[in-house]
Structure 1
Amino acid sequence: MKNAVLVLCFLLVTSLSFGSLSLGLISVAAQTESFSNTPLSGFVGIDVLGIDLRYDFDPLSFGIATPFLVFTLSEDTGVKPSFIIPGIAWYGYVGLKLDLDTFYVRGDIGHTFAFGEQSQLGFSPLRLGVGMNFSPGYYIELNVDPILQKFKETVGKIFDFEIGYRF
């Protein structure tokens, strides 16, 4: 067991020396009726705030994100914030990143999953976007996120904005 932990620690330190780990605050905004097939009268949009942990091993990018706050806007209830326990819902992804000095272009494909019966996730977003590197480790990104299962209905209706730091 000690040897396995030692090998894993060695692989982690080695891979971090060749790649970069980043932590970001992500905001996903969607103008949609519903991701599940539940009809919602007067539903206008949703905004999800979450934490995104990413590992870039140029040009590959791997990450996982979890939400912690959801804002819904509807004609029925107005703006309604809801706290989500981090770790209940997840978005895992793998993608590519092309550095163009200060700016970069990126794309990834992932899948959402959740623990518990109340959460109805299981869709696969395709994120395409641009980013900008600031002083040593800070970055911002803007992505468009169509969902593969409902591509025609979601293209151009879901966006995410992320601000983060690369270690």
Structure 2
Amino acid sequence: MAAPGRLSLKARALKLLAQREHSRTELRRKLLPHAVAFCEAQQTAANDAAALTGGASTASAETPHQCLDKLLDWLEAHRYLSEERFVESRVHARASRFGNMRIKLELAQHGLAVNADTAAQLKASELERARALWQRRFGGPAEDAAGRAKQMRFLAGRGFSGETIRRVVSGAGEDDCG
């Protein structure tokens, strides 16, 4: 049982998931320090109870990692934690500002990948997303080579492909975009 004013591990997880979608890896990283404290408190309480009754502690010594894995499994089983929802929300949040490579890299850091349909949609919209971002940032073509290089570095840093960057900065394919 948690001390008054302190959230249990499950309550912390649900509070984090209520704020936004999390990947299993991200939620694990955020909860691990609390899991260590939670499991230590559980073990201490079990030892204290055993000392009061004069018997040996019957509580199994669960490691924080085991404790956390059980909780994450429970969250997934009850659909509070969903990799599909996380991927969908992350793609939706990032698509207007980043290219396909950046989105895929960010998901890979969470141990996830986009499905084939989402990858196809991202690929199909990359040129128009890059052009919209370029237009918001720069407003128009650069005056000189240094300006074009700056625009290209900006788009490359955002994870757009080389072909997309070339087409946006050179103005090629403007009639493709609509």
Give the TM interval when normalised to the shorter protein.
under 0.3
More helix by share: 2
More strand by share: 1
TM-score by length of 2: 0.19
